[in-house]
Amino acid sequence: MPNNKGLGKGLSALLPIEDDSKDSDSGGTQLIDASEEKPEGAEIFVSVDKLKANPSQPRKSFDEAELAELAESIRQQGIIQPIIAEDSGDGTYTIVAGERRTRAARLVGLAEVPVILRKYSDEKRMMVSLIENIQRSNLNPIEEAAAFRQIMDLENLSQEEVALRVGKNRATVANALRLLKLPADMQESIKRGELSAGHARAVLSLEDSALQGQLFKAILKQKLSVRDAEKLAAKLGSAHTKGGKPEAKPKSRPPELHSMQEKFITRLGTKVAINGDINKGTIVIDYYSMEDLDRLYGLLG
C-alpha cells in the first residue's frame, strides 16, 4: 500500500519553499480558514469541490486500483502531505502538486483537504508539477519521457542538467527520451502497458520503420519476452536488404552482440553500434557536444 510520505529534500531542494511554520505558536503549520485573507505559504482547508486540475499536469491517466489503495491509506491516516495549489481568484484553486491525493480524497468522501497556497509563473508551475510526478514515479514511460522533454524545453536544459534536476541518472533520461521516437501507435501501446520500455528499445534498435512495425506486431501477437524481442530484432536486422537488393551472403549477427549493444546504449545513454563478430570488431559511440563527449570520457575513464 502506498505511504503518503513527503518528498524530503527532492522537490524543496529544486524549488525552494519558505518555512511555513514560523508564525505557529505550537511549532506546526498555522491553519487559516479559507474565508480569511490567505497569504502565500499559508496552509488552509479547502473544499475538494473547489480544487480544479492543473492544465499542465503531465499525468494524463490515473490507475483506478492505485487510486483505490491511496484512498484507503487516506481513510486510515488522513492526508499527510498537503496539496500545493494556487488561488485562481474566482473562489477556486488550481492544483499544482497533489492531483492523485485530491482524486483519492474524493473517493473517500472527504469534504475538505489541507492545501498550501503558492504563486508561480506559468513556467515554474509546470516545473513543480513535472518534477513532483517524476519523483513520485506516477507516470507511465511515455508520460515520463514527455515530462523530461518539457523540462528540457522550458529552461533549455541538457539531458544531464535535467537528470540533476529530477534526481535521475543521465542514462535514464536519455533512454526515456528515445521512446518519443516511436510511432504514435507504439507509444499508445506503452501507455496501455502492452509494450514495455525493454521491448521498445528492441524496436528502436531497428532503423527501418517497416521492420520496426513487423517486430512490434510480433511482440504483441506472440507475447514475446524482451529477450526474445531482442533476438528477433537481431534476426530482422541481419536479413535486411540494402537498396532493395539482397546482400550477397549476409552475415549472421549473434544475438549476444545485439544484447551487449543495448546494454552499452542503456549504460552510456547515447547511440552505440557494435560492428563485427564475437571475435573481432569495432564499437562506435556517438556524441553530440563537447559536454556530451566529456561526460562519456568520465564514464569510460
Domains of the chain: 9-120 (3.90.1530.10), 141-300 (1.10.10.2830)
Q: Which of 36, 66, 86, 99 is catalytic?
A: 99
Q: Between the CA of residue 98 and those of 57, 81, 169, what are the distances in Å? A: 10, 9, 25
What does pLDDT average to over the chain? 76
Element (H, E) at 266: helix 255-268
Q: What's the pTM value of the predicted model, to 2 decimals?
A: 0.50
**Which helix (H) or strand (E) is 283 found in, with range?**
strand 281-285
Cα distances from 17 to residues 25, 92, 100, 208, in angstroms, run: 20, 22, 21, 48
From CA 199, how far away is CA 220, in angstroms rounded?
10
Q: Judge whether 161 counts as a catalytic residue.
A: no
**According to the model, what pLDDT value does residue 151 have?**
82
Contact 259, 272 (CB under 8 A): no
Q: Is the Cβ–Cβ distance between 233 and 205 less than 8 Å?
A: yes
Strands 43-47 and 51-52: unpaired
Q: How many CB atoms lie within 10 A of CB 249?
A: 5
Q: What pLDDT sits at residue 231? A: 86
Element (H, E) at 264: helix 255-268
> Can you give the pLDDT at residue 86?
84
Which grid cell sits at 34?
479559507
Gap between the Cα atoms of 238 and 63, Å rounded: 40
- Residues of the chain predicted below pLDDT 70: 1-41, 56-60, 121-123, 125, 133, 135-138, 240-253, 288-289, 301
- Confidence at residue 34, expressed as pLDDT on a 0 to 100 scale: 47
Read off the C-alpha cell for 28.
506546526
User: Chain centroid to CA 19: how far?
Assistant: 29
pLDDT in tens, 176-209: 888 988 888 999 999 888 898 889 988 988 888 8
